[in-house]
């Protein structure tokens, strides 16, 4: 009887873990749009960022989050804070009402979830437009969103992968960024 109870507890835990992962976007890149438009291409760039972020942050441990390569370098957690700020900026540029980065200290899980959901929001907004000029504003054109925060967030995802390797927790070798899914 004890063994059955233990087995049930383990199965319920595994089911809960799988459901939690399924609720977050970007464990795989969504199916592509049926046609190429300015909006669907920009959306796909954000989807690629979301996929990279998902797997760069999947399974990070406290020692990974606290890892600092040098006295002047950011910890992995500080790098994730920066990526969250960049994704908030992206969504705020694309649509009102303005998303706000929470000012309070977020747990790693909450920060990861918020970043992934913001990226999904940005992708969904972009996918629905053919006119990226509508996102130009008095301060900068849409082009700057691509070479600024989108490219910067991609850059920092690579840093997270490097930092996790340095702290002894390498990136999942089954991730295929080319195909946008895990290799079998």
pLDDT of residue 161: 98
Q: How confident is the model at residue 13 (pLDDT cuts 50, 70, 90)?
A: very low
Q: Which residue has the higher pLDDT, 183 or 9?
A: 183
pLDDT digits (tens, 9 = 90+) for 69-109: 999 999 999 999 999 999 999 999 999 866 665 567 899 99
Return the DSSP state at 132: G
Residue boundaries of the structural domains of the chain:
39-182
Please tell me the distance from the alpha carbon of residue 172 to that of residue 6, in angstroms, as a whole number: 29
CATH code for the part of the protein at 39-182: 1.20.120.450
Q: Output the furthest CA–CA distance in the chain (Å, rounded).
A: 69
pTM of the model: 0.85
Stretch 148-167: mean pLDDT, rounded? Answer: 98
pLDDT of residue 17: 45
Stretch 35-52: mean pLDDT, rounded? Answer: 98
């Amino acid at each position: 009887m004890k063994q059955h109870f233990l087995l049930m507890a383990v199965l319920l835990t595994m089911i809960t873990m799988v459901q939690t992962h399924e609720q977050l976007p970007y464990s795989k890149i969504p199916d592509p749009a049926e046609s190429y438009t300015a909006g669907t291409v920009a959306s796909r760039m954000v989807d690629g960022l979301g996929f990279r972020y998902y797997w760069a942050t999947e399974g990070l441990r406290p020692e990974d989050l606290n890892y600092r390569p040098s006295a002047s370098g950011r910890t992995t957690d500080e790098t994730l804070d920066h990526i969250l700020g960049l994704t908030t900026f992206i969504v705020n540029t694309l649509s009102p009402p303005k998303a706000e980065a929470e000012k309070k200290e977020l747990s790693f899980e909450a920060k990861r979830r918020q970043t992934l959901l913001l990226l999904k929001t940005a992708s969904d907004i972009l996918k629905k437009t053919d006119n990226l000029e509508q996102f130009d504003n008095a301060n900068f054109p849409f082009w700057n969103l691509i070479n600024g925060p989108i490219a910067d967030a991609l850059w920092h995802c690579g840093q997270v992968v490097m930092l996790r390797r340095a702290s002894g927790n390498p990136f999942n070798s089954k991730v295929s960024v080319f195909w946008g899914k895990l290799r079998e």
